[in-house]
Chain A
Amino acid sequence: QKEVEQNSGPLSVPEGAIASLNCTYSDRGSQSFFWYRQYSGKSPELIMSIYSNGDKEDGRFTAQLNKASQYVSLLIRDSQPSDSATYLCAVGNDYKLSFGAGTTVTVRA
């Protein structure tokens, strides 16, 4: 079992819709949780961090964390073509980040 699992893609959503990305992790002692966006051929770009249970909103992005269920999600509201990318879930334990394989999102104009 991989440490971090993401819902399989690719995910295709129409412009203006909500994109929903899910991630589960196996290490119950994990302390920090991140979503990175990676455009093709580019480096991962941090878009959200969350450390405690509940929701965290930043612009069109909302991250949700449920430590009891070992579950992290990312919602992208009002999806734009520029949101088309691979989204990586990363789970931190001390200094080490464990990444999922990523979910590729395509926003259709």
Chain B
Amino acid sequence: GAGVSQSPRYKVAKRGQDVALRCDPISGHVSLFWYQQALGQGPEFLTYFQNEAQLDKSGLPSDRFFAERPEGSVSTLKIQRTQQEDSAVYLCASSLAQFVRRTMNTEAFFGQGTRLTVV
């Protein structure tokens, strides 16, 4: 597909359940990001991958959150033992830019997101 694809679109989890959210970035995009968007707020950075390397995970809220991109393409965000405060929309974005040096055209494109509701 032409855009960033995320699945599932909606996920309802019981408190304590583990969930896995998938992201298919735009083909050829080196950089991949996960963001968390709470209701009425802007997205908040979670983690950044350049190819398969996770270069920054400083935004992950706790050690219950884990992300991987083993082959430098598809990425999975896993949340263990979900809590109610994890309820949010999880957005994946990808970018052609490598961010190795200052570059122009660092635009990032977002997927449709996964709306996670923990009950």
Contacts and interface: CB of A to CB of B under 8 A. Distances in A.
A78 interface: no
Nearest to A98: B45
Nearest to B113: A43
Given A34-B107, A96-B56, A43 B42 contact: no
Interface residues of B, number: 28
Interface string B4-37: 0000000000000000000000000001010100
Interface stretch (A45-53, A58-66, A67-75): A45-53
B92 to A, nearest CB: 9
B112 A101 contact: no
B107 A49 contact: yes
Main secondary structure of the interface of A (DSSP, over half): strand
A97 B112 contact: no
B99 A101 contact: no
Interface residues of A, number: 24
B40 interface: yes
B66 interface: no
Nearest to A2: B42
Interface of A: 4, 31-32, 34, 36, 42-46, 49, 51, 88, 90, 92, 94-102
Given A43-B112, A49-B107, A90-B42, 13 more contacts: A4-B42, A44-B43, A45-B110, A46-B109, A49-B105, A49-B106, A95-B31, A95-B33, A95-B50, A95-B95, A96-B56, A97-B45, A99-B44
